Structure 1
Amino acid sequence: MDAHVGWLFRNDRTPASRYAPDLPADRDVRTVPRASSALRVLILALPFAAGWLISGSWVSALTALLWAGLVRLALLHHVTWRGNSLCHVIGERPFRTRGHDRATNLWPLALLSFGESRHTLHRADPTCARHGVDRGQLDPSAAVIRFFERLSWVWDVRCPTPDRLAARHA
């Protein structure tokens, strides 16, 4: 339970200055917490407005708010939290992680999580931009990163090489 939602109710913040010192220095990353209240309103207001604009009725606006707003957010959060809980209990461990780390790959959840539930490579090589590296493993998030790289929106992307993978295989 703690891995699924319990961590939300604790106040032990992980210091970014220790684990990701480049993030507090990034202006764009600092902007997100300051804009979070407005973003929360926006992600619910947009479905409501779309429902209203498409049909012109309150019923459609509220239906859009419910399904494209609240239900979508609930599913998104629970798929993410399932990655934190189930991917440490069941699944395959094709890559070596630290001794106490029980991260696994859970392919059914990877389908819902855009590939992010391939947790072992993420833990074995956290700077790697791709987690689904074995044959037949779809990794939509890596495809998005690759697309952004082609547009020059991201750079210095670390992709897995055969040597890096071989060094981390279990």
Structure 2
Amino acid sequence: MITATISQEAPTRQAQQQPQRDILAARLAYLTVGLPTLGTIGAIVYAIYNGLWVSDVVLFAVMYVITGLGVEGGLHRYFTHRSFEASEPVKAFLAVAASMAAQGPVVFWVANHRLHHAFADTERDPHSPQPQGPGIRGRLKGLWHGHVGWLFQVKKIDWSRHTRDWLQDRRVMKINGQYFTLVLLGLVIPGFIGGLVTQSVHGFVGGILWGGFARVFALDHATWVVNSLGHTIGHREFPSRDESRNIGILAPPTMGGSWHNNHHARPSLAMTRRHWWQLDLVGEFIRLLDHAGLVSNVRYINSDTGSDA
């Protein structure tokens, strides 16, 4: 739930409006972090007193996968790195699913992540977790900043400068402009499904709490942990100018995003897996779309053979 709507305007006008958007983004960060947290607490309390239904668990899992594909497959590998070309239906699905994840509109997310790669682990990196002072306190401050603290102090940047490709795409910008509506739908839809399937108020409330707020909370932290711990602990298989690292245990919840050193070594690739045993659910999803003819020009490790094996 971060930032204001960005319309298709001239870059100079975008730059003039940037300070106001930055202030609004910082304020909305409190809603981004606070509401899912409170909603998750509410979900736990509700489950303690009323039970955790199968519908709650299923809706949480389904919505997590859908919005996770939107974030890792859409915002990250497609919209930011252009690691494949998507058909219009796939593009729309990824943008809508990503918006329902409530991590910010497409333009906001892409601009900040492109900055992250351009200036990884430097002062210009929006969310570097590098120590901010000596000792344990400095390390913890850095981790907090890299994980979630940066949202409360969004740096003043001209987002249009880093997203000119998508500012020219009318479909993407239309979805970008409907961000808050899509966030709301992402919370309400699982409630309606839960209520219809179970024919009960519990199904409706549980769907909103678990398929909505708790799902947003879980996916938020799965994404943010790659920014924080993914640049702090773990294995470095490839040399890079930053501190990116692989954390295998986080591969399932991040849907392959935690092979972060692999990704930073070659960010333009559609898959983060480099060995057969590395789980990359989003990478396999992109491969399936490729086989189905729904995406094209997928960048695998070996672009000549179209295989990453």
TM-score (norm 1): 0.85
Match of 1:60 among 203, 209, 212: 203
Distance 2:286 2:295 in 1: 7
Equivalent residue in structure 1 for 2:172, among 29, 35, 38: 29
Secondary structure of residue in 1 paired with 2:222: helix
SS at match of 2:145: coil
Query: How far has the Cα of 1:150 moved from its partner?
Result: 2.1
Distance 1:140 1:104 in 2: 18
Residues 104, 119 of structure 1: 8 Å contact kept: yes
Q: Kindly provide the amino acid, as one letter, of the partner of residue 122 in structure 1.
A: H
Task: Tell me if 1:109 matches 2:287.
Answer: no
Structure 1 pair 135/57, CA: closer, same or farther in 2 (3 Å)?
closer
CA distance in 1: counterparts of 2:287 and 2:156, whole angstroms: 31
Within the candidate set 134, 139, 164, 2:280 is matched to 139
1:20-64: per-residue Cα shift (whole Å, max 9, x none)? 542322233322320111111111111110121122222221112
Contact map agreement 1:48 1:65 (CA 8 A) in 2:
yes
Tell me, what secondary structure is at the counterpart of 2:147?
coil
Q: Which deviations, in whole Å up to 9, do the C-alpha atoms of 1:72-96 show, x marking residues without a partner?
A: 1110111111111111110001112
Kept after mapping to 1: 8 A contact 2:245/2:259: yes
Contact 1:149 1:155 in 2 (8 A): yes
Alignment of 1:34-45 (within 5 A): 34-45=177-188
What's the Cα RMSD here? 2.0
Change in CA separation of 1:36 and 1:58 when aligned onto 2, cut-off 3 Å:
same
**Please, which runs of 5 or more residues in structure 2 have no aligned partner?**
1-143, 304-309
Amino acid in the other structure paired with 2:230: C
- Specify whether residues 152 and 25 from structure 1 end up closer, same or farther in structure 2 by C-alpha distance, changes over 3 A only: farther
Residues 16 and 24 in structure 1, CA contact (< 8 A), matched pair in contact too: no
Aligned-partner residue type, residue 300 of structure 2: C
Structure having the higher helix fraction is 2
DSSP 3-state at the match of 1:3: helix
Give the C-alpha shift of residue 13 in structure 1.
5.4
Residue 166 of structure 1: aligned partner: none
User: Structure 2 CA distance, aligned partners of 1:97 and 1:80?
Assistant: 21
Q: State percent identity of aligned pairs.
A: 34
Deviations 1:131-169 (A, max 9, x none): 11123112111111111122322211110129xxxxxxx
Letter matched to residue 30 of structure 1: M
Distance 2:280 2:246 in 1: 12
Q: Distance in 2 between matches of 1:15 and 1:144?
A: 33
**Is the 1:44–1:70 Cα contact (8 Å) retained in structure 2?**
yes
Asked if 1:47 is matched to 2:47, the reply is no
Counterpart pick for 1:151 among 277, 289, 292: 292
202, 207, 215: which one aligns with 1:72: 215
The residue type paired with residue 52 of structure 1 is G
Q: Larger relative contact order (C-alpha < 8 A, sep ≥ 6)?
A: 2
Q: Would you say the 8 A contact 2:223–2:254 is kept in 1? A: yes
**Are the aligned partners of 1:45 and 1:65 in contact in 2 as well (CA < 8 Å)?**
yes
Say if 1:78 and 1:94 are closer, same or farther in 2 by CA, change over 3 A.
Answer: same
The letter of the residue matching 1:4 is H
TM-score (norm 2): 0.49
* Structure 1: gaps of 5 or more residues: 163-170
